[in-house]
A and B are shown apart, each in its own frame.
Chain A
Amino acid sequence: MSISVKNISKSFKTVNAVKDVSFEVKEGELFGLIGPDGAGKTTIFRILTTLLFADKGTATVAGFDVIEDYKEIRNNVGYMPGRFSLYQDLTVEENLTFFATIFGTTIEENYDLIKDIYVQIEPFKKRRAGQLSGGMKQKLALSCALIHKPKVLFLDEPTTGVDPVSRKEFWEMLKRLQQKGITILVSTPYMDEAALCDRIALIQDGKILQIDDPQEIVKHFPTTIYDIKADNIYKLLLALKEYKHSYSVYPFGEFVHYTDKRDAIDTKELTLFLKDKGLNNIIIQPTETTIEDTFMELAK
């Protein structure tokens, strides 16, 4: 196992940030911690990167204990924290040289590993990090976290606030790194990114809700979801919530995702009910469960 977490708990004053969390990440795996702000993701990252002691439980990273062998862990992992981790007043090149030097290596020695990413920001290597755009900062931070060729890479919300195009590119970079044998633990609040991981843990309020691979995790959803559409989405939402058999009603892209308290829905009856509420152009059809549906059901 590349990362092994056993019954970790951590509290801050009155907040139980992490509650009895256990999971394992295999060597070379791309593992995602999926959950919103405040779920405990950052606390788990800080414990695993030896920056914070857990109150209870044990954990190892690359075979080293997070307390006993903290120095070995620091030499063997790369960590890209959620908040900007670079020196704003140093240039792109200076930042990278700085990180290489403190790990006793050089840019040239491990250039292969970062080449794909670094070439994209190399034209700006004399620019101060503080003057870079969000996407470029992200690429520089990733290069800095990789420059000492870590065995395990920790990425805490690398794509938060990043637009869909840059997010897609970032995940393509992660896939290429994974092929180079690096184990990656990544966290994200975007449920659509979960599908790109080998395995995921859904996490909320410090507790792990479920661990599985993305294809399997949706099978934990207990019932059929229906896509429903009508000419006025707000009226549709209100009407569905009023419907006596309704179990859950959530806007979901161009449709509303609806589940019923009964095993099967009565499409005719529901259509009539909605028409009675003044809705037109009604479409009701079964749909596939997404990871986000699963998350919401588990988090309820």
Chain B
Amino acid sequence: MKDTNVIQVENLTKKFGDFTAVNAITFEVKKGEIFGFLGANGAGKTTAMKMLIGISKPTSGNAKVADFDVFTNSEDIKKNIGYMSQKFALYDDLTVKENITFFGGIYGLSRKKIEEKRCLLVEELGLHNIVNELVGSLPLGWKQKISFSVALLHEPKIVFLDEPTGGVDPITRRQFWEMIYKASNNGTTVFVTTHYMDEAEYCDRVSIMVEGKIEALDTPKKLKEQFKVNSMNDVFLKLARNIE
């Protein structure tokens, strides 16, 4: 079912006063796709993402996420997506177990289901020794892996990842991407932003935002052909001017 669109965006625009942060962007994301959402700092990525996850109302345009309209059904969107960012993910003062229980509860899972999910998670990530530790005491890499799994607890159709691997060591960064591949293989759509250009190569398709507009959108292979360069880093450097 790779051809079903789970995100459909048409001329989506967000203005703050007379500043247009997101300028009529149009794209769609297919079920199970790993979609890379790239752009320079200040290009409008975060603003666009906020509209898609239902926490910011667009100025104009249309967007459907998991079949729900961002204008009229933003609460339904929130129930059907997972979200994780580098800045906020888990509560440092709760243990790993408490975090899982808390977020499971927030997403409305039954006690039994939470228990089931927790056992599965402990097994898959090898958390046996740290499940009762405070999250604040764990290395960043662990936190990020756990928080990705927590974002998937309620089996959302789409998971949004905002710079999930910033500052993480290279081995953990790769383990993290293996988790992304696995989720995608199970049919979860992954919408991800990153500043690591090698990670852009891991995506099925990549869009690059420049000054509020999507200036390029294709598979990494075709983008490299289009710009006649050998790496996504060079595609990015060719396209993204510094907007300051």
- Give the B-binding residues of A (Cβ under 8 A): 35-39, 120, 133-136, 157, 160-169, 189-192, 204, 233-234, 237, 250-254, 292, 295-296, 299-300
- Complex CA gap A165/B178 in Å reads 27
Verify B178–A133 contact, CB threshold 8 A: no
Q: List 9 A-B contacts (CB under 8 A).
A: A36-B141, A135-B244, A157-B167, A163-B236, A166-B40, A251-B177, A251-B178, A253-B202, A254-B221
**B39: which A residues are within 8 A, CB to CB?**
163
- Complex CA gap A258/B198 in Å reads 16
Verify B178–A237 contact, CB threshold 8 A: yes
- Complex CA gap A150/B56 in Å reads 45
Interface centre among B39, B233, B244 (most CB of A within 10 A): B244
Residue of B181, B236, B242 near A135 (CB, 8 A) is B242
Nearest-CB distance from A300 to chain B (Å)? 8
Q: Which of B187-244 contact A (CB under 8 A)?
A: 195-198, 201-202, 220-221, 231-233, 236-237, 240-242, 244
Given contacts A162-B41, A165-B40, A234-B184, contact A36 B244 (CB under 8 A): no
Verify B170–A296 contact, CB threshold 8 A: yes
Verify A165–B201 contact, CB threshold 8 A: no
Verify A254–B220 contact, CB threshold 8 A: yes
B94 within 8 A of A: no
- Complex CA gap A140/B193 in Å reads 26
**Number of residues from B at the complex interface, CB < 8 A:** 41
**A250: which B residues are within 8 A, CB to CB?**
171, 174
Residue of A136, A168, A234, A254 near B185 (CB, 8 A) is A234
B139 within 8 A of A: yes
- Complex CA gap A63/B95 in Å reads 47
Interface string of B29-43 (1 = CB under 8 A from A): 000000000011111
Verify B236–A234 contact, CB threshold 8 A: no
Verify B197–A164 contact, CB threshold 8 A: yes
Across the interface, name the chain B residue whose C-beta is closest to A159: B195
**A36: which B residues are within 8 A, CB to CB?**
140-141, 167-170, 172
B128 within 8 A of A: no
**A133: which B residues are within 8 A, CB to CB?**
41-42, 244
Q: Which of B146-191 contact A (CB under 8 A)?
A: 163, 166-172, 174, 177-178, 181-182, 184-185
Interface string of B75-107 (1 = CB under 8 A from A): 000000000001000000000000000000000
Given A163-B240, A164-B197, A234-B184: 12 more A-B contacts, CB < 8 Å: A36-B168, A37-B140, A37-B168, A133-B42, A157-B167, A166-B41, A190-B196, A192-B233, A233-B181, A254-B220, A254-B221, A295-B170
Verify B171–A299 contact, CB threshold 8 A: yes
- Complex CA gap A160/B165 in Å reads 11
Verify A164–B167 contact, CB threshold 8 A: no
Verify B181–A164 contact, CB threshold 8 A: no
Across the interface, name the chain B residue whose C-beta is closest to A133: B42
**A190: which B residues are within 8 A, CB to CB?**
196
Verify B201–A135 contact, CB threshold 8 A: no
**B185: which A residues are within 8 A, CB to CB?**
234
Given contacts A163-B40, A234-B182, contact A299 B242 (CB under 8 A): no
Residue of B174, B232, B236 near A165 (CB, 8 A) is B236
Across the interface, name the chain A residue whose C-beta is closest to B239: A165
Nearest-CB distance from A226 to chain B (Å)? 16
Interface centre among B42, B184, B241 (most CB of A within 10 A): B42
**B170: which A residues are within 8 A, CB to CB?**
36, 191, 292, 295-296, 299
- Complex CA gap A120/B168 in Å reads 31
Residue of B166, B172, B244 near A120 (CB, 8 A) is B244
- Complex CA gap A195/B60 in Å reads 45
The 7 lowest CB-CB distance pairs between A and B, nearest first, are A36-B169, A234-B181, A37-B167, A163-B40, A253-B201, A253-B198, A37-B140
Q: Which of B116-161 contact A (CB under 8 A)?
A: 139-141
Verify A204–B169 contact, CB threshold 8 A: yes
**B163: which A residues are within 8 A, CB to CB?**
161
Across the interface, name the chain B residue whose C-beta is closest to A15: B137
**B86: which A residues are within 8 A, CB to CB?**
161
- Complex CA gap A167/B233 in Å reads 12
Nearest-CB distance from A196 to chain B (Å)? 13
